[in-house]
Amino acid sequence: MAILRNDADKTLTLLTKNTMYQMKVDDRGVLEHTYYGKKMEYMDMHYYVECIDGASFSPYPVNDKTDDRYSYNHISQELSTSGVGDFRISAIGLRNTDGSYGCEPRFVSAEIRDGKYSLNGLPAFYGDEAQTLVVTLKDTVYDIYFHLYYGVFEEYDLITRSVVVENKTNASIKLEKALSLTLDMPYGSYDMLYFHGRHTRERILERTRIKHARTTVASVRGASSHMHNPFVVIADKNANEDYGSAWGIALVYSGNFEITAEKNLQEKTRVVAGINTENFNYEVPAGESFTAPEVAMVYSANGFANMSNCFHKAIRNNLCRGKFKNAQRPVLINNWEGTYFDFNADKLVSMAHEAAKMGVELFVMDDGWFGKRDNDRCALGDWTPNEEKLQGTLKSLAERINAEGMKFGIWFEPECISPDSDLYRAHPDYALAMPNRTPQQSRHQYVIDMSRKEVRDNIYNQLAKVLSSANISYVKWDFNRHLTDVYSVELPAEKQGEVYHRYMLGVYELLERILTSFPNVLFESCSGGGGRFDCGMLYYMPQVWTSDNSDAIDRLKIQYGTSFAYPVSTMGAHVSVCPNHQNARITPLKTRGNVAYFGTYGLELDVTKMTDDEKAEIARQIVEFKKHYELIQRGDYYRLISPYPEEESLFCAWEVVKPDGSEALACAVRYESDACTAPEFLKLKGLCENKWYTVNDSKEKYLGSALMNAGIKIPYNFFTYPSTLFHIKEA
């Protein structure tokens, strides 16, 4: 059993293959968090968190005749609330029917169910092999219930958590804060690893000590954003890839979020995660409920690599959905950097013709195919093919591409609208805009109010018409700006604090509708590249365009940071032209290919301008990528050398290994040059110590223990940005 209930101890214990999570109902009915860490034999762990000393002006409840040393400000809680004596960061902020601010949840019941719970209108992990625990708490004064949902995936060491707030009073209440997670950590010194960035420089690892000041990772952009990712790692201060405790926390949500950590006066650390509280104020009418997004957690006693691989497997198998989640996806070419807006059908077909000869399987027509869209200043929202530019119908273009032996894909940006568009002229109210204020533009466009069903219906009907009109196998769903002027004409003044979240619910509803109607289309998420790379979007689309920066050397840090939570199979990665369009760097074509292998390999250039030698190299790469496809996409992933200077290496390196250790593929890329370079050896991971292996089909044999403890020499190539691929297999 993954969930144990001990009524004598009043404990509830969640068990995975290697971890244990426990909570206890104390003598006052408060649900305390007692333990989350390495799996042990069962015992009541309350002693580990019990603390009634060091009050330091902390108030205490008196209505249950407790002593004056018991305070909400000290105890480890499963659901932290504001207004009643806990001065730490809290998860729930609730305005009651009488206007008072505060609540005191007490235990009511616990129910164990087979299978994983689902969330109405929100993405969530799924699986019949999981178990669900539902714990119900009730406020001491009002008929307000808090249903805590826990999902337990034993094999992946994954535990999920969500909160449903149910209003059984006779009047509306207001949620001013509705975070999904409270995690009170034991005494100790912890670091937070988070992944910041900007457009073309997403998910750059930073590590900081959690101190008594609050450390927050957040977005108020209406999207998870390029700037921060809704995933963090809380770790022992000495933890690394292979050693120490690490708690990974991922929010399954794509809108405004916050993850905050704080050490309190008693040296305990609390972490909360969920919807960002800025401009959030949600009414829950009498008899209705509010559901907070899901949080997924993995604990590893053996460092970051183990934690990452648990997330990778769970995301691949129990978050991504549909026929493509584990299918071999086609090698594609996207015309964007090859042509930008300057193309017609003949140009696209000529690119497809050359790409097909190299083994490319899917041609994707990017921005510029609809309305009067010859630049980024117009026509978003007018999803009608420009038949003059396409030299015929969309169907005829798809047929021409198909005749080259290739599938056909298309680009959309359904969530945005151009002021210069027929849709905006007909429905200016479709755009988010505040009364009496000129709305902000970004990329010469506004954001559509996806909280409104009428708007979603319009967009759905346009997209469905296009997707039904031709043999379309792939959609790139883009979102190239963030939300401002957040106001919906359909909501009264007192409900405008709901628009951000209602917008995200609307996007999810539209995606669900489109995917249900077109299950045979492969969807890829994009938001100016990697501006919405999160578990929420992966529930609908199994891959994300990792970054608009396709430079192989910059991608070392981008894909390195992304890999802490997200599997290779979700990362869009393409070979692009040199000099690179984002930074003008010149990188060998082989290195560009080796980096792109560890993602959904494709091309982003004009193949008609390539030399015969370059075309031959791409053809070789496609054969090599397909040869190792299953290993790359489904192997255990190890970060061997980080791309940061503190590693005192000139290389970045990583590896994928079959779970049984029989085969591996490693890549080392030199991102710095140095004269008279000393030799470097790459220490592999995940192999069998006592088995013999060959490397790149050489005659020499190596013990697995030698390859892991001594390593394999990285060849030195006297040119800029070389890379080496190592194929290791049992001899």
Write the pLDDT tens digit of every residue in 111-133. 999 999 999 999 999 999 999 99
Catalytic residue among 429, 614, 624, 672: 614
Is position 725 within any domain? Answer: yes
594: Cβ–Cβ under 8 A, 6 or more apart, which residues? 552, 667, 669, 723, 725
619 and 658 in a common domain: no
In a domain, 443, yes or no: no
pLDDT of residue 674: 77
Q: Which of 576, 605, 633 is the last residue of a domain?
A: 633
Residue 706 and residue 574 share a domain: no
Q: What are the E-state strand segments in 432-578?
A: 446-447, 474-477, 522-525, 543-545, 571-576
Quick one: CA torsion of 326, 327, 328, 334, rounded to 10 degrees? -100
| pLDDT value, residue 65 | 56
- Here the CATH number for the domain that contains residue 693 is 2.60.40.1180
Same domain? For 464 and 581 the reply is yes
Place of tokens 């967009």: 459
- Which of residues 252, 283, 318 is at a domain's end? 318
CATH code of 70's domain: 2.70.98.60
Confidence at residue 169, expressed as pLDDT on a 0 to 100 scale: 97
Question: What residues contact 291, with CB distance under 8 A and at least 6 apart?
Answer: 119, 120, 121, 122, 162, 163, 164
Model confidence band, residue 679 (pLDDT cutoffs 50, 70, 90): confident
Residue 22 · residue 13 · CB < 8 Å: yes
Q: Please identify, among 294, 318, 342, the residue that sits at the C-terminal boundary of a domain.
A: 318
Report pLDDT for 15.
Answer: 98
Q: Give a yes or no: residue 447 inside a domain.
A: no
User: Among all chains, which residue has been given the structure tokens 């890839």?
Assistant: 241
| 442 within domain boundaries | no
Residue showing tokens 């997200």: 566
Neighbours of 469 (CB within 10 A): 13
**Is residue 641 located within the same domain as residue 574?**
no
pLDDT of residue 71: 84
Residue 260 in this model has a pLDDT that exceeds 60: yes
Is 534 a residue of the active site?
yes
Q: Looking at the domain assignment, is residue 96 inside a domain?
A: yes
| Total structural domains within the chain | 3
Do 609 and 516 fall within a single domain? Answer: yes
77: DSSP letter: B
Tokens of 322: 């549909």
Task: Determine the pLDDT at residue 722.
Answer: 95
Tally of CB atoms within 10 A around 27:
9
Q: What is the mean pLDDT of residues 483-490?
A: 98
Mean pLDDT of 506-531: 98
| Range scoring the smallest mean pLDDT among 18-22, 134-138, 393-397, 716-720 | 716-720
From CA 436, how far away is CA 428, in angstroms rounded?
14
Q: What is the 3-state secondary structure (H, E, C) of 197-228?
A: EECCEEEEEEEEECCCCCEEEEECCCCCCCCE
Residue whose pair of structure tokens reads 């809704």 in the numeric block: 230
Question: For position 580, what pLDDT does the model report?
Answer: 96
The pLDDT > 70 percentage for the chain reads: 98
Helix then strand count (H, E) for the chain reads 13, 38
Q: Alpha helix locations (H) across 386-498?
A: 394-403, 422-426, 453-469
35-86: pLDDT as tens digits: 999 999 999 999 888 765 655 787 777 765 556 678 888 889 999 999 998 9
Domain around 694: 637-730
Tell me, yes or no, whether 653 and 572 share the same domain: no
Please count the residues of the chain: 731
Model pLDDT, residue 72: 87
Same domain, 160 and 13: yes
**Beta-strand runs (E) in 253-322:** 257-263, 269-275, 282-284, 289-291, 294-300
Angle made by CA atoms 551, 556, 559, in degrees to the nearest 5: 100
Which residues pair with residue 247 across a beta bridge? 234, 299
> Would you call 614 a catalytic residue per the annotation?
yes
Mean confidence (pLDDT) of the chain = 96
Q: Identify whether 432 is part of a domain.
A: no
Query: pLDDT tens across 223-243, in order?
Result: 999 999 999 999 999 999 999
Residue 661 within any structural domain of the chain: yes
Identified catalytic residue from 534, 548, 554, 606: 534
DSSP 583-600: T-----HHHHHHHHHSSE
pLDDT per position as a tens digit, 292-313: 999 999 999 999 999 999 999 9
Longest dimension (CA), the chain: 85
**Has residue 271 got a pLDDT over 90?**
yes
* 516 and 568 belong to one structural domain: yes
Which tokens sit at 623? 């054969």
603 with 673, same domain: the answer is: no
Residue 509: what pLDDT? 98
pLDDT tens-place string over residues 183-195: 999 888 999 999 9
Q: How many Å from the N-terminal Cα to the C-terminal Cα in the chain?
A: 41
**Same domain, yes or no, for 683 and 623?**
no
pLDDT at 61 (0 to 100): 79
Residue 428 lies in a domain: no
- Among the listed residues 89, 108, 132, the one whose alpha carbon sits nearest the alpha carbon of residue 31: 108
Rounded to a whole number of angstroms, the CA Rg of the chain reads 27
215 plus 233 within the same structural domain: yes
Q: Are residues 162 and 220 in the same domain?
A: yes
Burial degree of 51 (CB within 10 A; 0-12, 13-18, 19+):
middle
